[in-house]
Structure 1
Amino acid sequence: MDIKAAVVRQKGGPFSIECIQVDAPMDGEVLVKVVACGICHTDLIIRDQFYPTPLPIVLGHEGAGIVEAVGPGVKTVKPGDHVLMSFAYCGTCPSCLEGATSYCWHHMEMNFSGKRYSGSGWTIPAPLSKKHSHGGSEQINGAFFNQSSLATHAIATEGNVVVVDKDVDLKTLAPLGCGFQTGAGAVFNTLRPEVGSSLVITGAGNVGLAAVMAAKLVKCDPIIVVDVVPERLALAMELGATHTVDASREDTVEAVKRICRDGVRYSIESTGSPKVLRTAFEVLQTRGTCGLIGGAKLGTEVSLDMTHLLFGRTVRGILQGDSKPKKFLPQLVKLYKDGLFPVDRLIKHYSLDQIEEAVADMKSGRTIKPVLLME
């Protein structure tokens, strides 16, 4: 089947819009006509080869669309279903067996290898190829988060699609499958702050602002957001922050300590910067917890004051907001419908052909969450 997709052929891009071919779904797979797909920071760090993902590849892991076909063995999804797509997991490792699928022991291979899982290894090529005029064909890597949804169609699996009601606005809620569930889940599922808990969030991008909205719902106070873009800090206040800190103008630790003399109970670091992670750790009170969300290049290291750590402080990683997508995404959909999780305020839509413009706007700060529309 011919489809249109954004293909990355070299480190650093660009995203090339090409006509390629997608295979029919295999056992356990579903073919989704993609309506919309968010662009995530992770797409860009893979484009830039922060992780050793093979090229050429079709990226995209915040897809939403309509199921067109299902492969053998699929029981819970049918053609015509509206779905959100999320991350891949093996289902058999110790983490998966305990229900902690976001911490699958094979998370890197399942989501970043460019190939499909056979049940024993990542040996099945992605379902993507490109025919050439001279008669040959080229294998295109994919299966990115078991979707590669920066395309008009995607092959996902029964396990990583979430069926939603047909009145759900797929063009707005496509990013629930990664960015928004990560930020909100860090609050709802991981930190679970007590009412009145103090919280610092570093980075007012889509993940950080999703965390702000969740923190407001669980009644954190104060909610302090740190960024360097004044417009994002202003939006954070509108979405639930009680205080903001412009890190380009003042020392973050000193500013936080003026609000909370002894530091904060919780912090969330969403930028992936070692320097900012150090700051998110330093603002903690005794026995405080910092959750790291932001992804960095493999091998990136951070320096922490061991004595500060000794006083019961914790730094822990958070993947996908500790989400179980088939349960959590419908909860976020309901919050959105009830007006309590207004992620539409973060989104700007672009066509697939405008992907380079969307990436540039995201990197400059002009757009918080670009979402590509396939038609």
Structure 2
Amino acid sequence: MPEIDLTDADVIRNPFAAYGRVREETALARLRVPGLDPWWVLTRHEQARAMLSDPRFEIRADSFMRPDVPDDCLPYMRTMSEMNGPEHARMRKLVAPAFTPRRAADFRPRIESIVEGLLDTVEAHADDGTVDLLPNFTRPLPMDVICEWVGVPEEDRPRWRAYGATVAASAGPDFAKAIPGIMDGAKAAIARRRTEPGDDLLADLIAAQAEDGDRLTDAEMVTLVWHLVMAGQTPANLIANAVLAVLTHPDQLETLREDPDLMPGAVEELMRWCGPTLLSIPRYAREDTELCGTRIRAGEAVVASIAAANRDPRAFSDPESLDITRPKGEAAHLGFAHGPHFCLGASIARVQTQVALTTLLRRYPRLTLASEPEELRAPDPGTWRLTALPVTLTP
């Protein structure tokens, strides 16, 4: 049985190639994770997609980091990502209307305003026209959008930006320290929205009611805000990866400049080709079962290699090429997962990425990379991301 070692320098340097070699040998392999028993990993699109929607495999709370936080925060730490079956279905049904593509589209003008304001600030940080977009644009953008979406007051947003940066780093004592502030801020925002009308996520959630009268509690809404803060950092890495991708593929950049209406499809292709998620959240077998002709014992962990599945030649034509005009009839990428745990915020992430790229390329038609691409990649076996994104603006 082929094995992939997450400490292997080749896997860290180029996971797409490393997982791809295994994919062409087998649909199911072993994954060696430091400090843990080996996991099973699915490498092909069809099998990965099927597992992600298979009720025989469930997500567990121990799949997630549990930093040392105050006891009063613990009730809000268990998010929808850790729920399964009827419990997950109930929550999903109640919150889904607030996360539809239409609601994301309605929110687009406010995202456009946030992006324009951030780019004004970017110019102020430029040194002879050169600036790092990561700390000045892609990292603060998701948290600014979340603050607008949940109604965080302007005076509190710098603090929330700091929370977002800490959560995105996902490590260290500051992570645990940020959590009480996020919880307190969420409680205050919910209390304020209950007495003041508004047009945002919390207003939608407060109004949400099932046919049987079921509603979200305040505690469940606080948990959802915490979930957004964690999962909502994805666009920071996606946008940075996308900017690097188009700047290093001038033919694709030119095509996109000539026809900005291609942007929605371009974002889907960029998510497929250089999305930040390399591995799915692990699922655990609820019982002895079989995958790809191999026995999986109850309790064993299985993950989908998103990096391999999204470049599977069985699902995509010429999958190693970035093609923003890729035909719509091909398979759907797994960058936002699949099945019951499909990313709740996918629509807002898509709109956010579309607006960021559209505005950046419009304002800076001669935008160029100010460093060698290979110098910018973070050595992270779990997330495809950058350590910096220096560019020359040239309006």
**Which of the pair is proportionally richer in strand?**
1
Q: TM-score, normalised by structure 1?
A: 0.26
Choose between structure 1 and 2: higher helix proportion.
Answer: 2
